[in-house]
Structure 1
Amino acid sequence: MKPALTLLSLCLSLGCAAQPEPIRPEARAWFSPPQLPGLRATWLLGTEKDAGAYVLRVQLAPGTRIPPHTHPDTRHSTVLRGTLYVGFGERVDEARWVAVPVGALYVAPAGVPHWLWAKDGEVEYQETGSGPTATLPVKPS
């Protein structure tokens, strides 16, 4: 039997599924928290309330700062555009910012306070984790 026919026979016998459509951020619903107008985000996979894996795309306008906060799950964030400045701790400490360039990834462990800044211009990054999740502001002590 010819290779193409063998592949076709195998596909028909196994019930091959159609190729899934790509998930395009521009076709998704974006939101901005009222307290952070410089932040836009969209859930590409899952949502904050769903159990299981999620993917969140985030855009920060130039100069946007996200104050200290935590998440109940560990988040892995990859910078897609710009340079994201990240710091860890309950209070923003200007001396402790770390620059995360395009292509780099940073990890925010579950329950660990951290803060973000789009210091040099627009930033886009993508977070992954396992839900349900939340963003919990750190109350100043």
Structure 2
Amino acid sequence: MLKTTVAFCIGLAFASAAQAQVNSQDLKWGPAPAMFPKGATIAVLSGDPTKAGLTTLRMTMPPGYQVPAHHHPTTEYVTVISGDLHLGMGDKLDMTKAAALAAGGFAEASAGMNHYAWSQDGAVLQIHAQGPLEIVYVNPMDDPRKK
């Protein structure tokens, strides 16, 4: 399993910007860490995704964005703030076998559960998980850190 804590520390202006209360317009956005496919941005709302403990993030996904099949060592909770999120469970991204979630939609992926996601029109998500946040791709060749 690849450790991703270093990826969070490199090039992220928001790493120490988490606050107990924050309005959307005050979020500090930065490029998503290298463990995510390029194009997404992330803002930390609470906690530190590089350390143990609960963390809450917002993530933007541009139109057409895809995250290949992967899992996390801890349970992930995702709420769709705006846009669309297609989420499927399994070992390979399959656009014919996924739930379509709209604004207000919620999903839970248990620790170790292989899942994949994409957004057709773009999305803003809120993600809750226990840190340190890690992603393990089912197919190691899908891992953006190896490209």
TM-score band by shorter chain is 0.7 to 0.9
* TM-align CA RMSD: 2.2
- Alignment pair present for 1:22 and 2:34: no
How far does the alpha carbon of each residue in 1:55-88 deviate from its partner, in whole angstroms, 9 at most, with x for none? Answer: 0111000011111111111011000001100011
1:131–1:33 CA distance, 2 compared to 1 (3 A): closer
Identity of aligned residues (%): 28
Amino acid at match of 2:127: E
TM-score (norm. length: structure 1): 0.76
Q: Which residue of 2 aligns with 1:132?
A: 132
- Alignment pair present for 1:39 and 2:40: yes
Distance 1:104 1:21 in 2: 24
1:93–1:51 CA distance, 2 compared to 1 (3 A): same
Count of residues in correspondence between the two structures: 121
Kept in 2, the 8 Å contact 1:91–1:140? The answer is no
Distance 2:115 2:67 in 1: 9
Give the Å deviation of 1:47.
2.2
TM-score (norm. length: structure 2): 0.73
* 4+ aligned runs moved over 3 Å, structure 1: 24-27
Which secondary structure does the structure 2 equivalent of 1:96 belong to? Answer: coil
Q: Which residue of 2 aligns with 1:109?
A: 110
Report the structure number with the largest CA radius of gyration. 1
1:51–1:116 CA distance, 2 compared to 1 (3 A): same
Distance 1:85 1:96 in 2: 9
How far does the alpha carbon of each residue in 1:3-41 deviate from its partner, in whole angstroms, 9 at most, with x for none? Answer: xxxxxxxxxxxxxxxxx8732454424223456222111
Gaps of at least 5 residues in structure 1 are: 1-19
Gaps of at least 5 residues in structure 2 are: 1-18, 142-147
1:97–1:126 CA distance, 2 compared to 1 (3 A): same
